[in-house]
Amino acid sequence: MAIALAISEWSGWQAAVEDNHSELPEALTVSEAPDVAVIPPMLRRRLNLLGRACASQVLRLMPKEGNLPIVYCSQHGDIERTLKILDELVAGEPVSPMHFSLAVHNAICGVLSIQIGLNANISTIAAGQQGLVPVLLEAAGILQGGAERVLCVLCDVPLPEIYQSPDSLPPMPYSVCFVVARSEGIRLSLEQTDRDCDRSRADQLPTCLMDFLASDSTELALDHNGLVWTLARIND
């Protein structure tokens, strides 16, 4: 059974990579660091790279008069703060209260909700590097619950060196944000299929969604937990 939804707005940021010469979607900003101009200074000081990447995109798409539910997805969350806490414990030093509070998986969105006065639902997901399907399913469920629009954000940074392996993902920091709506925007269907997914693209970032939305492609195959889902445009 296909799930119908729409995506009305999207934007993203990705760290610059020297050997990346491929054509990138217009809505994706590639730079050494995310643009923090939209982040108030008091909030900015509390956020590191992952937090700034997430906040920069959420604040860009969250309407000033809006109170949209949020679905946040990250494989490891703020792993840099988690590692600092472990280092402090190993050294027998007091744990930094700021690192402790901001290492929680939903902390970045919690800080953002205080900043913008958000009292709508916030769902947080840890779904590996194949988070698009779980995020879309969660957003569709929130729409079924009565919401008109849902703001979704997927972000991650590379693992610290101590955890690195040859197949560690992602290769670069990124943040992708988009608004899922009932019908406003590009109308899509999401359905589990029996088709094969291109496993050679298993390391693709969620930025592939932005490529799809900006292109004339009719379908996008998504691999999740060994199953293939198809995100397809609905033609009127």
Number of domains comprising the chain:
1
What confidence tens digit (pLDDT) does each residue in 146-193 have? 999 999 999 999 999 999 888 888 889 999 999 999 989 999 999 998
Domain-located, residue 127? yes
Domain-located, residue 119? yes
Domain-located, residue 227? no
* Whole-structure pTM value: 0.91
Domain-located, residue 25? no
Q: What's residue 96's pLDDT?
A: 86
| Whether pLDDT at 197 is above 70 | no
Domain-located, residue 84? yes
Sign, CA dihedral 25-177-209-168, equals positive
Domain-located, residue 68? yes
Domain-located, residue 125? yes
User: pLDDT tier at 202 (50, 70, 90 boundaries)?
Assistant: very low
Sign, CA dihedral 101-102-103-108, equals positive
Residue 8: CATH number of its domain: 3.40.47.10
With H, G, I as helix, E, B as strand and everything else as coil, classify residue 194: coil
What residue numbers bound the domain in which 148 lies? 3-16+41-189+201-212
| Whether pLDDT at 199 is above 70 | no
